[in-house]
Amino acid sequence: MTENTSIIIFGASGDLSHRKLIPALFNLYLKGRLPESFRIYGAATRSWTDDDLRSTAWSSLQDQSTFRIDEAAWRIFAQKLTYRSGDFSAPDTFKRFDVELSVLENGPSNRMYYMATPPEYFLDIINGLAAAGMLEEKDAWRRVVIEKPFGSDFTSAGSLNDSIHQVMHERQVYRIDHYLGKETVQNILVARFANTIFEPVWNRNYIENVQITVAETVGVETRGKYYDKAGVIRDMFQNHLIQLLTLVAMEPTSSYKADALRDEKLKVISAIRPISAKEVGLHTVRGQYHGYRQEPNVPADSNNSTFAVVRFFIDNWRWQGVPFYIRSGKKLAEKVSEIIIQFKNPPHMIFPNHANLDASSNLLSMCLQPDEGIHLRFETKVPDTIAETRSVNMEYHYSDEFGPNALPEAYERLLLDVINGDASLFTRADQTELSWELFDPILVGWNSPAAPPLNFYEPGSWGPPESDTFLASAGHQWMQICGEHCHDPGEPE
């Protein structure tokens, strides 16, 4: 099959395209990982020129420290960028694109169609491509990448999947979750399954609870219109957080192949005990930051949640009884994504002075961002005491081991995987639906009399105090090692 490849970005004038996709493609180009012959064809409704696309992407790239700036290489790369405007609901648009692409391709060529548009355009584009015969794989592949949000509930995700399957095969579909492109997220499975030391204790016999936090300092910025409908559950939990949970909880697979991994993930999600709409008060906390209602395009009486904690239990042998606390929010104290595995206390303490040994002594922290790494916290004897103990951290930082710029942008890996036809890090149709099935009742419950109160919190805090009391009522507390606490072993958050 040919290596000649076209990358077509729908929604090319938007943020995602010029902040993430084009810079990631440029990085791949610099690393020599793109096919010999390739082109990037951007399309959107805005009437831009090729130069508008080129200059916007170039200035975005220069603003971000994660991308290499190489002006000479950019000048060559920029020549491969084309921009065309078009109305995605008009069938002629796609015929026009197809004719022009065929000229640029000058022979058989693979095509990656990337949906970087708001979700309301997904079906217009997919149907437009199908009607113009642009999804047919005659002498080259056709792959479609679909951004989140994939549906807004179980029913809409299901009908989106049905419509997609009418015009293409599941193997042509790449539902993207950029969290899976992060090195540290991929390393969860490596840490678990390329070592023997963790697996024996990775279960209910040794683990007290699991905490997954994705905290952000930014608010909703200019995305009020989208965010007020989505809220934190649709924006973060149904996709990124549930992916993290499955990687922590899944069983080892027999190979690192797409379907083997996806099957195991599906088993975890199927085993999560559903939280019914009536039980939301028992298992969830929700919050909204002060000032959210004054954000652009947010109604002054919005009851949308910008923060949430959800406690899940997984009904299987490995995890029975172990709470998984997952939380995420905007305008929090730090930008930090961290997974904490909190181990149980020793069954009996023989040392006389162990006052500081609380339920938090043994922790494994997977710091996903920033200051990516893994920390293991354990008790040690304080020198020159009879037997006083204290917690210390054993630390691994990616930057110390692999250098400061070793971690590629998540989109680099994911775009390359699409070109290589590796769907391991993409979400299969059944997982999107199952995941919505888990969160739909929570959203229904939050709109019912059973809803927990909407607690307000100060920007720059760790969410409403109810988030702490919720854990405290089960004898737990939020722990943090990653981020500003990195060198501060003994402290709870």
Rounded CA-CA distance 272/328 in Å is 19
Residues from 187 through 226 that contact ligand BG6 (CB under 6 A)? 216
Minimal distance, residue 5 CB to ligand BG6, in Å: 26
Query: Six-digit token pair at 106?
Result: 């000058």
Nearer to ligand BG6, 187 or 362 (CB): 187
Number of residues that bind ligand BG6 (CB under 6 A): 3
Q: Is 333 helix (H, G, I), strand (E, B) or coil?
A: coil
Strand, coil or helix: 364: strand
Nearer to ligand BG6, 322 or 326 (CB): 326
Q: Which is nearer to ligand BG6, 82 or 306 (CB)?
A: 306
Cα separations in angstroms, 88 against 41, 93, 96, 120: 15, 7, 11, 11
**Is 183 a binder of ligand BG6 (CB under 6 A)?**
no
Sign of the dihedral defined by the CA atoms of residues 328, 333, 335, 338, in that order: negative
Residues of span 312-341 touching ligand BG6 by CB under 6 A: 337
- Residue 218 CB, nearest distance to ligand BG6 (Å)? 6
Q: How far is the CB of 182 from ligand BG6 (least distance, A)?
A: 7
Name which of 329, 319, 315 is nearest 212 in CA terms. 329
Q: Which member of 18, 178, 240, 375 is catalytic?
A: 240
The closest residue (CB) to ligand BG6 is: 235
Q: Between the CA of residue 84 and those of 47, 271, 306, what are the distances in Å?
A: 8, 47, 36
Answer whether 269's CB lies under 8 Å from 434's CB. yes
Instruction: Locate 3 and state its tokens.
Output: 């290596």
Nearest to 425 by CA among 443, 413, 441: 413
Question: Which residue is associated with the tokens 């406690």?
Answer: 311
Binding letters toward ligand BG6, positions 229-268, x by CB under 6 A? ------x---------------------------------
Q: Which two tokens stand for residue 94?
A: 């796609």
- As to burial, measured by CB atoms within 10 angstroms (0-12 exposed, 13-18 middle, 19+ buried), residue 401 is exposed
- Which residue, 460 or 492, has its beta carbon nearer to ligand BG6? 460
Nearer to ligand BG6, 263 or 371 (CB): 371
Q: Which residues pair with 369 in a beta bridge?
A: 337
Q: Smallest distance from the beta carbon of 460 to ligand BG6, in angstroms?
A: 17
Q: Nearest distance from residue 235's CB to ligand BG6, in Å?
A: 5
Q: At what angle do helices 22-30 and 71-78 cross, to 10 degrees?
A: 110
Closest contact distance (angstroms) between CB of 370 and ligand BG6 is 10
As measured in angstroms, the least distance from the Cβ of 147 to ligand BG6 is: 9
Q: Six-digit token pair at 189? A: 């499975």
Tell me the three state secondary structure of residue 142. strand
DSSP, collapsed to helix, strand or coil, labels residue 411 as helix
| 354 a catalytic residue | no
Question: Active-site residue numbers?
Answer: 240
Question: What residues line the site for ligand BG6 (CB under 6 A)?
Answer: 216, 235, 337
